[in-house]
Chain A
């Protein structure tokens, strides 16, 4: 990466620049791709900060009134929230008892008149919630930040695992060929015979819930794309001169596979990884929404969305809005970064 500085500016290629250096240069020149990269990095920083407990720690604390509206956006609604922190309770004295019979009539009247002047501590707290609260009075901003970290966590480790499984099997199938290849191709065809969502639900049915299982289940259903790609590349590369040369000087199979061939396809794996991340983030949202994803001690965008249909019926739209904004920003940026990466790392593009 240090060689970049002196060659920046798109000058005619210096002879020794690696694919990665070239790719980085092309990515920098691609404005959309570069901006996307920064957005994705910002999200990752956010997730990391939340994971370390710097922000979003109190997502599960009841700190405001139920469904406190977003304060920064609608000042008028804020005033309303403070004045009526709770639904006005039924007033028992008005019915049944007459003023003459009710011993505390005078007190009740006084309390009723004064009510508007008191600001309950929880209502006061609601003023500071930028994006409102959910049914249990939890800060939606904190929740959505925590959800971001869950999504990225699942996406990152799920994709990692899928890449590892897919690469290991694909490398074996492509490198050894024959019986190994036949067997692994059969294995692959079994997994691809079923639609992803079906396989996911079948796994989810037997595996139970929780973050670990979600990651495992997602990677077990999505390794097939990586397998196909890696296998094809290994078949292409295994008979190249540099691999034969390695064979001639006595390199073992493992060495030829992972030291000589693998680095040549690492750029493809990076693109696959970023493609998988987008897919897994979307899958996780649906799984969690359906209740087969993260368990109740965790929050994710999917479990937040699961609360939305009921809220909408009552006119509380802010939880939905926050999830949509965060999720579409991340996924859009990731998709565009993937496209940019694919272009930048394609050695055929000059």
Chain B
């Protein structure tokens, strides 16, 4: 186990270097020269030279890449081009709101989607199962945008059940009670259909195993079979899937953050892309990629820990 973790950590280095190289190529080569993005087109040659020296653009590409790697390792991405604030500091303040939204969504989704999936899997092949699967397919085909637009309009604007948007930087309670319920509800609505379908397939697969037949043969009631035996086993892929989806969730809730004015990572990324604020985009890309890799490793470890049958390669 320990050897496995060490090996995995070693394997992460080339991938991370690759991510940095990709980001570097994108923003330093494809993205164009920042001199013109930042300073406009009417510049004297010496201003250009000055600026380029300051940005390190006068160095060769390998040197620039080396500097970039150093930046990443010290987690110092300089200042945002748009606001002049320190990127690392800005991002640190964005993690909290994102986590509140993403974490809340994750918990809610587990507690609603899993029971539905288990119930549907119990009736598999029947009319209920087919209807739910059909409804899920249709529900998934409506863009998540539509749920958010209509939900925000109807529940917050037309019926005035929730505030339309907002965020309180100082009070966690205000956020939890006032500003988060509607985004969470809509986020749940968006993710429910795909989650139910996803979990259902796991549970159905699990139901085909021999131990289910044994449990039934012992005379266990159907709910006992489902919730005691099947759910526990189906939970293994579910748990790992959840661990792995956390960094992805943080971006997935990007639209919610944008609509409801939640100052999270996703919102920050959208603003940065809008303003071509390259340091911020670079920092978010690197951060999320690193987080995704760490969570990936955690998921594999957790997987092995829950289910000893799993072979780690």
Chain A interface (Cβ < 8 Å from any Cβ of B): 186-187, 189-191, 193-195, 197-199, 201-207, 282, 285-286, 289-292, 301-302, 305, 308-309, 312-313, 320, 323-324, 327-328, 330-332, 335-336
Contacting residues, chain B, for A313 (C-beta < 8 A): 153, 157
Contacting residues, chain B, for A302 (C-beta < 8 A): 145
Residues B9-61 near A (CB distance < 8 A): 14-16, 18-19, 21-23, 26-27, 30-32
Contacting residues, chain B, for A282 (C-beta < 8 A): 143
A199–B292 alpha-carbon span in the complex (Å): 13
Which secondary structure dominates where chain B touches chain A?
helix
19 A-B pairs in the complex with CB atoms less than 8 angstroms apart:
A186-B15, A190-B22, A193-B292, A195-B251, A197-B252, A197-B254, A198-B288, A198-B289, A201-B281, A202-B273, A202-B281, A205-B276, A206-B26, A207-B30, A305-B149, A309-B152, A320-B146, A328-B138, A335-B140
Out of B141, B247, B273, which one reaches A204, CB within 8 Å?
B273
A335–B18 alpha-carbon span in the complex (Å): 34
Contacting residues, chain B, for A187 (C-beta < 8 A): 18
Contacting residues, chain B, for A206 (C-beta < 8 A): 26-27, 30-32
| Apart from A194-B292, A206-B30: 15 A-B pairs, beta carbons within 8 A | A193-B16, A193-B18, A195-B251, A198-B269, A201-B269, A201-B273, A202-B26, A206-B32, A207-B30, A285-B145, A312-B157, A313-B153, A320-B146, A324-B143, A332-B137
Task: Render B247-266 as a binary contact track against A, CB cut-off 8 A, 1 for contact.
Answer: 11001101100100000000
Contacting residues, chain A, for B16 (C-beta < 8 A): 193
A286–B289 alpha-carbon span in the complex (Å): 21
Contacting residues, chain B, for A330 (C-beta < 8 A): 141
A202 touches B285 (CB 8 A): yes
User: How many residues does chain B have at the interface if contact means C-beta atoms less than 8 Å apart?
Assistant: 48
Which secondary structure dominates where chain A touches chain B?
helix
Given contacts A206-B32, A286-B143, contact A195 B278 (CB under 8 A): no
Write the chain B residue with the least CB distance to A204: B273
Residues B130-164 near A (CB distance < 8 A): 137-138, 140-146, 149-150, 152-153, 157
B157 touches A186 (CB 8 A): no
A189 touches B15 (CB 8 A): yes
Say yes or no: is B270 at the interface (Cβ < 8 Å to chain A).
yes
Shortest C-beta distance, A56 to chain B (Å), equals 21
Given contacts A206-B31, A207-B30, A286-B255, contact A198 B138 (CB under 8 A): no
Say yes or no: is B210 at the interface (Cβ < 8 Å to chain A).
no
A201–B284 alpha-carbon span in the complex (Å): 11
Shortest C-beta distance, B313 to chain A (Å), equals 13
Contacting residues, chain B, for A291 (C-beta < 8 A): 274
Shortest C-beta distance, A134 to chain B (Å), equals 15
A190 touches B141 (CB 8 A): no
A322–B289 alpha-carbon span in the complex (Å): 38
Write the chain B residue with the least CB distance to A323: B146
B140 touches A305 (CB 8 A): no
Contacting residues, chain B, for A286 (C-beta < 8 A): 143-145, 255
Say yes or no: is B236 at the interface (Cβ < 8 Å to chain A).
no
B270 touches A290 (CB 8 A): yes
A323–B146 alpha-carbon span in the complex (Å): 9
A-B pairs, top 10 by smallest CB distance, nearest first, are A190-B18, A331-B141, A206-B31, A332-B141, A312-B153, A328-B141, A205-B273, A193-B289, A195-B248, A206-B30
